[in-house]
Amino acid sequence: MIIETRSLHKAYGKHTALRDVSIGVRPGTTLGIVGESGSGKSTVARLMAGLERPTSGEVLLDGVPLPKRGRALRAARRRLGFVFQDPYASLDPRFTLEQIVGEPLRAHGLWQDGGRDRVDELLRAVGMGGIDPRSRAGEFSGGQRQRLCVARAIATRPHLVICDEPTSALDVSVQAQILNLLLDLQESLGVSYVLISHDIDVVRRMSDDIVVMRSGEVRESGPCTEVLADPRDEYTRTLLDAMPGRRGQEIR
Amino acid sequence: MSAPVSIEGLTVAYGDQVSLHDVSLDVPAGTVLALVGESGSGKSTLAHAASRLLPPNARILGGTISVGGTDMAALTGHELRSARGSTVAYLPQDALAALNPVMRIGRQIAEVFTAANGRSDAAEMAVEMLRRVSIRDPGQVARKYPHQLSGGMRQRVMIAIALAHRPQLLIADEPTTALDVTVQAEVLELVAELQRDTGVTVIWITHDLSVVKEIADTVAVLYGGRVAEHCAADELFAAARHPYTLGLLGSFGGARTAAPKERFTAIPGSPPLRGGVPGCPFHPRCTRAEDRCRSEAPPLLGGVACHVVAREATGTGAGETGMTA
């Protein structure tokens, strides 16, 4: 497993956000996490990335417990990328493309080692090759900004990229471009993904394995095709049934 | 309460930026029109224009918005005040922002009745409205504040307020976008049921084609401030013709049957920002664009606004494209 959680527990005060969550991502594959608001899917992502610490339980990255703090945690984060939901909120519009994409390289002391060339390479990889790296993020559309976020996420050649609703803030006609980009990068780089989404149809097409969460607990998990073809959990069925455009249809 | 809605040549601008160009739409009485579009399409501008809730910097430059014979675009003063809500009711996306946080739910609904005719039984009427939107224990909910309710409950309260006016036209501006899918399904069902019971005509705005399938009789696809396609909902899913509509359907249409990791059919580029594109607004992203598409905006002919589709339909100039048929 690239990343694995063991009996992850997270409480905010009296509120339990996660209860006994044990999931894992196989190398080179995508794990889709679906659930509604309050299901804990984003909390799992934040704990996996070491952005927050679990109340109990642990996260194993490449088989080794994720350090809790300090230099060791920073070093481990080099092997993780993160793509957030809103590319307008997660990019400083005054930063140049080079500053944005080069930031993780600088943060991890990799800039001296051909940083500028690496930025060009990354911009090409996300389909923004012809664009001047000195242009500012604020000049670009939502789809292009999300491409920049993807370039930033893969800058340090991580084994795992966590994508938290990467297309929810984008226009419908642009979403497919970003999903294709993620699929292409997985094929060429062999990167693994955790894909968090409320859209089961997107998860179905993007993922090898799936986890269905509700109220901080894992309700069902397994290979995507099996779980969605024959859901055993009542809630998974409810969720599939509620997807607009398919209500009243039989779930097979 | 059933009233036909007819929008003719509606043009709306923010300052000198035209965001809705010469839009014409018909909604038969008692039916649901889904208005589909993404950012910059003009869908919210149309919603605000028809409910006369445009911000002060926006102007209706031309056209009519006829709701059961009343031209909403021409009303002013007292007539406009009484038409808002009772002729056209508006259901917003964000119920929490629309509700007064420091006023009990019951009173917010009762206001509709007291404002309209000073009814003394307004409080009981408010509870009755909560019952009609299938809220359990309506008497208790009427005494609560908005923050004490879930997102789905708040949207039900908004529906109660909108329908309390007994409007002829209900404009729903993405009211389920912020809700979870299971709650969205309940709200869609509720609106469909109330629509059947009251016969109110509905314009439902959305960016989500799968929602269209759920509730719409007819559909209009907006792109870059113009109508790209306008037809029966069934027809759109069976035989869409505009390249943009086909692109949208193609991107996610096969999601259930596609092989794992199969690439999505993407439309290149991004939607245009407000105004600005000469010719057909979709031409910079269209794989079928021709010279004419770059200079001249196509008229809406037989439900579709596309030079290429129109030419193929009439068979003129078939020499150029006959090979591909």
Instruction: Verify whether the Cβ–Cβ distance B262 to A205 is below 8 Å.
Output: yes
Q: Report the length, in residues, of chain B.
A: 325
Residue B121 — pLDDT band, cuts 50, 70, 90?
confident
Query: Does pLDDT of A220 surpass 70?
Result: yes
- Both tokens of B206, joined, read 């959305």
Q: Which residue has the higher pLDDT, A10 or A70?
A: A10
Topology at the third CATH level for domain A1-79+159-252: Rossmann fold (3.40.50)
Percentage of chain B exceeding pLDDT 90: 73
Torsional sign, CA B265, B269, B273, B279: negative
Angle of helix A142-153 relative to helix A172-189, nearest 10 degrees? 20
d(Cα A118, Cα A134) in Å, to the nearest integer?
A: 15
Kindly report, residue by residue over A46-80, the tens digit of the pLDDT: 999 999 999 999 999 999 999 988 899 999 999 99
Phi, psi of A75 (to 5 degrees): -65, -40
Interface membership of A42 toward B (CB under 8 Å): no
Query: Does pLDDT of B275 surpass 70?
Result: no
Interface membership of B244 toward A (CB under 8 Å): yes
Interface membership of A26 toward B (CB under 8 Å): no
| Mean pLDDT over each residue of chain B, to the nearest integer | 90
Residue A44 — pLDDT band, cuts 50, 70, 90?
very high
Residue A249 — pLDDT band, cuts 50, 70, 90?
very low
| Contacts A228 to B, Cβ<8 Å | none
User: What's residue B251's pLDDT?
Assistant: 83
User: What's residue B256's pLDDT?
Assistant: 65
Kindly report, residue by residue over A130-188, the tens digit of the pLDDT: 899 999 998 898 999 999 999 999 999 999 999 999 998 898 889 999 999 999 999 99
Instruction: Verify whether the Cβ–Cβ distance A245 to B268 is below 8 Å.
Output: no
- Both tokens of A237, joined, read 């069925």
d(Cα B325, Cα B311) in Å, to the nearest integer?
A: 13
Instruction: Verify whether the Cβ–Cβ distance A205 to B271 is below 8 Å.
Output: no
Query: Does pLDDT of B277 surpass 90?
Result: no
Q: Report the length, in residues, of chain A.
A: 252
> Coil, strand, or helix at residue A40?
coil
Query: Does pLDDT of A250 surpass 50?
Result: no
Kindly report, residue by residue over B225-272, the tens digit of the pLDDT: 999 999 999 999 999 999 999 999 888 766 567 788 989 888 998 888
User: What's residue B254's pLDDT?
Assistant: 60
| Contacts A143 to B, Cβ<8 Å | 270
Q: Judging by beta carbons within 10 Å of its beta carbon (0-12, 13-18, 19+), is residue B15 exposed, middle or buried? A: exposed
Kindly report, residue by residue over B57-87, the tens digit of the pLDDT: 999 999 999 999 999 999 999 999 989 888 9
Q: What is the dihedral of CA B125, B131, B133, B137, to 10 degrees?
A: 130
Residue B113 — pLDDT band, cuts 50, 70, 90?
confident
In chain A, where the domains are located: 1-79+159-252, 92-155
Range B275-299 average pLDDT: 91
Q: How many CA atoms are closer than 13 Å to the CA of A132, on its beta-carbon side?
A: 5
CA distance B86 to chain A (A): 30
Instruction: Verify whether the Cβ–Cβ distance A245 to B263 is below 8 Å.
Output: no
User: What's residue A204's pLDDT?
Assistant: 92
Range B97-114 average pLDDT: 93
User: What's residue B314's pLDDT?
Assistant: 83
Which member of A177, A202, A246 has the closest CB to residue B266?
A177
| A-to-B residue pairs, Cβ atoms closer than 8 angstroms | 103
CA distance B78 to chain A (A): 39
Task: Please report the domains of chain B, with CATH numbers, ordered by start residue.
Answer: 1-87+167-239 (3.40.50.300), 95-166 (no CATH), 240-314 (no CATH)
Query: Does pLDDT of B325 surpass 50?
Result: no
